[in-house]
Amino acid sequence: MSKTGSREERELVKMLWDADCAAMRAPASGGATKKPLPDIIAGNGKIYLAIEVKSSSKDRIYINSQKIEALLEFSNIFGAQPYIGAKFLREKWRFVRPEDLYRTKQENFRLDKELAFSKGMEFDELLGKSKQVKFSG
């Protein structure tokens, strides 16, 4: 996967536009500015999303706590729903709420592939187009 995630960001922006959502990559996300910007901002007049995009070829993604804090701050100011958009190699996108992430001993966050697929939402579910049936075992 691309180191910066820009390919995945562009893919997700295209998916959002194809689903009738206006979407854009935040040009200064990733620490280039002091402002708390997520990777992607999207909306359709009914739903507003702020998405921090992460991808991995492994089964685990680590996320710096500053990224999550910035995502939450932006979402609160903008009125958006915050999500981590996770793209694991050869898997569909999953969207996880920040509060569902695992907090590490170093005060950062971790997203395991298993958690992404048990608690995370699929793309259509994120947009309110379908509900995923989850069975507890």
Q: Which amino acid is at 45?
A: G
Instruction: Centre a 10 Å sphere on the Cβ of residue 73 and count the other Cβ atoms it contains.
Output: 16
For residues 67 and 44, give the distance between their C-alpha atoms in angstroms, rounded to a whole number: 24
136 is catalytic: no
Phi, psi of 25 (to 5 degrees): -80, 135
For residues 31 and 28, give the distance between their C-alpha atoms in angstroms, rounded to a whole number: 7
Which entry of 2, 6, 29, 136 is annotated as an active-site residue?
A: 29
Burial class (CB in 10 A: 0-12, 13-18, 19+), 123: middle
- Report the catalytic residues: 29
